Amino acid sequence: MVEGLSHITFIVRDLDRMETILTTVLDARKVYDSGADTFSLSRERFFLVGQRTNAVWIAIMEGEPLPGRTYNHVAFKIPDTKYDDYLARVRALNIDLREGRSRVHGEGRSIYFHDHDNHLFELHTGTLAERLERYADGR
């Protein structure tokens, strides 16, 4: 039986640049840096995002960026009261902020941005329960 999410890995050209995004926007805490050692495919760093008991492990590894952009993405939950703060964090890094998709009232707000390696991130204020409840109401 699957117990839950283990980790998310992003292949990035520049570990330092991605570390800046993770620590500035997501308040990530770096817990490992391979330095010149490579236990896996290339140099790597590990981060924790979120509260300690529910933190998400993010690994970044050096490599070639994605060839293009898609809507495939990872979404992180943020409180609605902090929406403007997170939007300012993304804007301060001058990374590619993407217009959010059209939404119906009650399903939460989102901030989308691409990193320098074509990964799409979402910062979302809603929950699955809220979305399902809203969708059950119809348009």
Q: Considering 44, 64, 122, 133, which one is annotated as catalytic?
A: 44
What is the pLDDT, as a whole number, of residue 102? 67
| Cβ-Cβ contacts under 8 Å for 5 (sequence gap 6 or more) | 56
Our answer to whether residue 44 is catalytic in this structure is yes
What is the pLDDT, as a whole number, of residue 96? 93
- Amino acid identity of residue 114, one-letter, is H
* Per-residue tens of pLDDT for the chain, all 139 residues: 888 889 999 999 999 999 999 999 999 999 999 998 888 889 999 999 998 888 999 999 999 999 999 999 999 999 999 999 999 999 999 999 987 766 667 778 899 999 999 999 999 998 888 888 888 877 6
Write the DSSP string, 41-108: SS-EEEEEES-GGGPEEEEEEESPPPSS--S-EEEEE--GGGHHHHHHHHHHTT-EEEPPPP--TTS-
